[in-house]
Chains A and B, each alone.
Chain A
């Protein structure tokens, strides 16, 4: 596990292929969309991509520690439902409800983490079961999309803080800061240790149980941020709105070069993976592909990106 970039062997960095794909897809997108490099497009893209990027970071952290969280999307949905049913017009109520929603997101992520690390069932199935549970609860409170989100709240989210600096960028900068500080701690190394080899980590005195719980708590913070973005963007509560995030975030993490078995890759990977997936949908839209072909093309391109992502591993086995 090396934290410093090795420029000589940069092509062997697990996130390197995703960087190339990202550049390629930006070029492709820019050539299809003539106003791609304007501030307006930049902002609207940012508004669309931020939830996916944040959930990908949340998923990436969980994957790094050797687990997976399929309930992440259902958590986002449930938080939007909660916020849309409680929020009032006053600034105080917005503040309290946002805080409450974030707390609940972190709590739900904690429940996953606790069940997985205390009882030791496969994370895949556990989080699938909790996702059914969260979805049921969200549906119970809001069988059809609705609720109320004050206009001022969504307007605030879509506005500019300064000229040419959208508010939504604050979420990403906040996320970067959290990640930056975390990456300087011993806890960050423990994530890789536990993800790489749980038994070895335990034998070397790492508290495996606590590390996993902490990762899920941290992931809950990013899920909370994503939920705030989603609810501000859509201005409704919807029990189904987040469902696609679960699997898209896994795809983004793997495209970003994380190993599904954990302990390998950089957290920058999922961020790039999220951007790639977001731009991909843009490209499919601007390439005038009819909706019948979009699902098909999406799958093909994900497979293609994954195949390119596998190149460094291939080169490594060759050079050995």
Chain B
């Protein structure tokens, strides 16, 4: 069963009927259901501009989820709990590098992901070569990253986004926010890399069985180090885009992204055991979670009610999508 599915993913051969009832399609129905629900509760929820603003909010989670997708796909209990804090430090660092000047954008675009890459590589090295469980290593890394951003800012982040970046963050092209267009580009590129390139095939290969991958000549350990590195770089880049949206940096903006980035994957039909699923699933998972959150925010409920509803729905989604009856 599992093998068949992963083959389907790689070979891209799915019959139309199968597609209608696939996890991806069901997730898509869930989005439509949520938007209809939102419209019933709050008229105007489904208007074009509001849908766009909900989608724009899911872009940041979506970018973080891309890194998470790569790590989870690479298997061996792969998971990255440091994405939230790397995103946070990405916001702080890019604001510091940019300092409100357009001319600094190339510098920030280069240096911010480089720092994320460094953090990710360190995690990856320890995970691959010292064989520490990813969940706990990336958790400790989260502490280190959070500590680093405290040390460099002394508690008060400085700098802000330059005008050009703010245009990207809040501007629109024919009523479609630039960020969404950027995300679509990212989805296309990521799907292409995962499905059509050698690297993508290696990722699925390592994720579904790292022994066979090793025997086929893949340097699995080194490969996994780079996967964690890329995840870190993407998370830091997400921080740069989040800064383009908020304008000024705050500490710990990323804390609320870590667990949702994993939940989005599970909802999108990406197996947490690795080697199975694709980025489009994660994208849909992100949109579901963000829509849910924005319905709850728009209802002007207290934080308690919001957390209870979010927790309950998350529980139902997790069980519905990833549960399989065991003994």
Contacts and interface: CB of A to CB of B under 8 A. Distances in A.
- A and B interact physically: yes
Interface of A: 68, 115, 117-122, 124-126, 128-137, 139-140, 143, 198, 202, 208-209, 247, 250-251, 254, 259-261, 292-300, 302-303, 306-307, 309-310, 313-314
Given A261-B77, A307-B132, A299 B140 contact: yes
A195 B324 CA distance: 18
A250 B147 contact: no
Interface of B is mostly: helix
A299 B143 contact: yes
Q: Closest 3 interchain pairs by CB?
A: A296-B147, A136-B307, A299-B143
Given A119-B323, A125-B263, A260-B136, A307 B126 contact: yes
A310 B312 contact: no
B154 interface: yes
B130 A310 contact: yes
A136 B306 contact: yes
A294 B148 CA distance: 10
B228 to A, nearest CB: 14
Given A126-B315, A307-B126, A298 B147 contact: yes
A293 B144 contact: no
B206 to A, nearest CB: 18
B142 interface: yes
24 contacts: A120-B323, A122-B322, A126-B315, A128-B263, A129-B312, A129-B314, A130-B311, A132-B310, A133-B311, A133-B315, A136-B305, A136-B306, A136-B307, A136-B308, A136-B309, A136-B310, A208-B326, A209-B326, A296-B143, A297-B147, A299-B140, A300-B144, A303-B141, A314-B131
Contacts of A250: 135-136, 139
Interface of B: 77, 79, 126, 130-133, 135-137, 139-148, 150-151, 154-155, 259, 262-263, 266, 272, 302-312, 314-315, 318-319, 322-327
Given A130-B315, A261-B77, A292-B150, A125 B304 contact: no
Contacts of B318: 121-122, 125-126, 129
A295 B308 contact: no
Contacts, number: 162
Contacts of A298: 143, 147
Contacts of A306: 126, 130, 132, 136-137, 140
A302 B319 contact: no
A204 to B, nearest CB: 13
